[in-house]
Amino acid sequence: MRMSSLFLRTLREDPADAELPGHRLLVRAGYIRRAAPGIYTWLPLGLKVLRRVETIVREEMDAIGAQELTFPALLPREPYEATNRWTEYGDNIFRLKDRKGVDYLLGPTHEEMFTLAVKDLYSSYKDLPLSIYQIQNKYRDEARPRAGLLRGREFVMKDSYSFDVSDEGLQASYDAHRAAYIRIFDRLGFEYVIVAAMSGAMGGSASEEFLAVSAIGEDTFVRNDSGSYAANVEAVVVAQAAAVDASGTPAAHVEDTPDTPTIETLVAALNANHAREDGREWTAADTLKNVIVMLVHPDGTREPLAIGVPGDREVDAKRLEAQVSPAEVEAFDEKDFAANPTLAKGYIGPGVLGEERSSGIRYLLDPSIAEGSAWVTGADEHGKHVLDLVHGRDFTADGTIQAAEVRDGDPSPDGDGVLHTARGIEMGHIFQLGRKFAEALDLKVLDENGKLVTVTMGSYGIGVSRAVAAIAEGNLDESGLCWPRNVTPADVHVVATGKNRDRDGSVFDKADELTAALEAQGLEVLYDDREKVSPGVKFKDSELIGVPTIVVVGKSLENGVVEIKDRRTGERREVAVDEVVDEVLREVRGDASGATKAGA
């Protein structure tokens, strides 16, 4: 690539609409341009990076025998009608009509198309197992696109699906994908963690996410010190607390606690007027907080739900949503309270909660609330709370729910140490869909006995354009980007510092020659051969663009040497002109952690 003719314009100043450092640099260095909110143009340099990420994904998918195909991005409505997703996706789907008024959509995901394609072509167990994939643009009309490529409305995704007759076969396909994903993310070169995840609205069992560890990530995950446990916070399963002996607990008794509608005011009132017998102060953890939310089911029906959690914890909205999906959660507002007169706002207790009690509202407890444990909680009357209310003796719930917030320092569910929380960017998600989806679309094959059996499926995704953004965010400094070798738009950046071919002929001649020699070795070379551009500008641009190895041909040519610069460390060294090609090859190939090695 000759910079004198490359379609590129670097910006000296940050774009005003970019917030994240990596996004700013991708725009400034001329990799991408915003075309519309959440929609980006890939300029030549950016496209090179995107293609290299795609190539790594493609190589590893092919290596496990998955076969590539491409579905249209513009899809008919019918298949999505069959799985009810035309409705369930709601406003998140881009919809359009053709000239006859027939509905179409821009594919937000392609489960239906994959499943129907297999149904169309295959009908025997002998055809399976099968894994097929595509690398395709996906479209989601996000309520609020943000963070540049990390959450766009158009994005590039690799999605694959496995089709098996048996559960064992599905497990094998899943394991193969998991191993391929590990190789892919190793080659892409970022720090990632594999966490247990929720499988989402389509159901299914085993599910894991690959998260790039990053403070700017939108997902929260937890892990313990030994690494034996890691999970998306949504998927953490808190163990049921063991029952405790309640024989010494006095009978439950209602006390006046005026003006205590919050846990904070309640604890203060308890300590002022109802001192504990054991002399310890009351804390929020002694109270049972009952939170009411309104579930909105996909068919539009509304159902209130009561959740009991220890008073020192909040209900985690994401955990709750994951548990009740596909229902959505709305706040329980004043109108709802008015419609449920047995609920005394601020003093709600188990006395009225539960399907069998006066409110009729389903009541689910956090599993940390042990049978036999005693609580202070609302007495369902304004200004009154009940003390020594024992779970199992004085009240019961309709079940448990994993919806309380998970905190740093909580015990690890596998019993090994405590949990720490961190943030990550979801880069990949693999899960065993099972038969639910194939059933919806009636995907069956004949087995050895000539009987029709429903196929079992796995679903595996990687955010390809998101990977470019995540790599950029993780590989930059104050001067610009610093690409890992496996995804850099060029292997080496040759800078000719001359400004004028007439006067600096020897510099340009040598740089031309060197570029040709490097290209002859199969390297992708970005060559700054611009005239009338001062050396300072070329140096700044080379740092902004972030090719890992920079070769400067200039002044020192008089002494028969050129300069090789490491973009990441800033280290520079002089190398004799006739040794440069070998030296660069050594850097590019020797240092290629992951890509060439893992691919070999």
Partner RNA sequence: CGGGGUAUGGCGCAGCUUGGUAGCGCGUCCGCUUUGGGAGCGGAAGGUCGCCAGUUCGAAUCUGGCUACCCCGACCA
Residue 552 binding RNA, by CB under 7 A: yes
d(CA 568, CA 370): 54
Tell me whether strands 207-213 and 192-196 are parallel, antiparallel or unpaired.
Answer: antiparallel
Which tokens hold the place of 35? 């075309």
Which tokens hold the place of 68? 């590539």
Local structure of 304: helix, strand or coil: strand
CB of 183 to RNA, least distance (A): 21
CB of 11 to RNA, least distance (A): 5
Contact partners, residue 515, CB within 8 Å, separation at least 6 = 494, 525, 527, 529
Tell me whether strands 130-139 and 207-213 are parallel, antiparallel or unpaired.
Answer: unpaired
Contact partners, residue 564, CB within 8 Å, separation at least 6 = 549, 550, 551, 552, 572, 573, 574, 575, 580, 583, 584, 587
Q: Which listed residue (6, 8, 14, 246) binds RNA by CB under 7 A?
A: 14
How many CB atoms are located within 10 Å of the residue 339 CB?
Answer: 9
CB of 578 to RNA, least distance (A): 17
Residue 147 binding RNA, by CB under 7 A: yes
Residue 555 binding RNA, by CB under 7 A: yes
Residue 600 binding RNA, by CB under 7 A: no
Q: Which listed residue (176, 269, 329, 575) binds RNA by CB under 7 A?
A: 329
CB of 321 to RNA, least distance (A): 5
* Residue 249 near residue 374 (C-beta atoms within 8 A): yes
Nearer to RNA (CB atom), residue 91 or residue 416: 91
Residue 62 binding RNA, by CB under 7 A: no
CB of 445 to RNA, least distance (A): 29
d(CA 185, CA 429): 12
Q: Where is 83: in which H helix or E strand?
A: none
**How many chain residues bind RNA (CB under 7 A)?**
67
Q: Which listed residue (556, 566, 568, 585) binds RNA by CB under 7 A?
A: 556
Q: Which listed residue (129, 304, 498, 594) binds RNA by CB under 7 A?
A: 498
Residue 145 binding RNA, by CB under 7 A: yes
Nearer to RNA (CB atom), residue 36 or residue 179: 36
Nearer to RNA (CB atom), residue 410 or residue 541: 541
Local structure of 165: helix, strand or coil: coil
Residue 421 binding RNA, by CB under 7 A: no
CB of 189 to RNA, least distance (A): 20
* Residue 236 near residue 406 (C-beta atoms within 8 A): yes
Contacts 24+ apart (CB under 8 A), 29-32: 29/480, 29/481, 29/544, 29/545, 29/546, 30/545, 31/489, 32/148, 32/149
Q: Which listed residue (112, 186, 380, 426) binds RNA by CB under 7 A?
A: 426
Nearer to RNA (CB atom), residue 12 or residue 280: 12
CB of 490 to RNA, least distance (A): 18
Residue 203 binding RNA, by CB under 7 A: no
CA angle 253, 257, 258 (to 5 degrees): 145
Nearer to RNA (CB atom), residue 347 or residue 460: 460
Nearer to RNA (CB atom), residue 256 or residue 330: 330
d(CA 95, CA 99): 14
CB of 6 to RNA, least distance (A): 13
How many CB atoms are located within 10 Å of the residue 540 CB?
Answer: 15
CB of 566 to RNA, least distance (A): 12
Contact partners, residue 553, CB within 8 Å, separation at least 6 = 494, 495, 496, 497, 507, 510, 511, 514, 562
Q: Which listed residue (31, 80, 86, 155) binds RNA by CB under 7 A?
A: 155
CA dihedral 141, 145, 150, 154 (to 10 degrees): 30
Residue 37 binding RNA, by CB under 7 A: yes
Residue 429 binding RNA, by CB under 7 A: yes
Nearer to RNA (CB atom), residue 110 or residue 140: 140
* Residue 67 near residue 426 (C-beta atoms within 8 A): no
Q: Which listed residue (9, 99, 280, 335) binds RNA by CB under 7 A?
A: 9
Q: Which listed residue (68, 264, 303, 328) binds RNA by CB under 7 A?
A: 328
Residue 235 binding RNA, by CB under 7 A: no
Q: CA torsion sign, 84 to 85 to 86 to 92?
A: positive
Residue 503 binding RNA, by CB under 7 A: yes
Residue 106 binding RNA, by CB under 7 A: no
Nearer to RNA (CB atom), residue 249 or residue 325: 325
Binding site for RNA (CB under 7 A): 9-19, 28, 34, 36-38, 92, 138, 140, 142-147, 150-153, 155, 200-201, 218, 317-318, 321, 325, 328-329, 426, 429, 461, 463, 466, 479, 497-500, 503, 534-537, 539-541, 543-544, 552-557, 563, 565
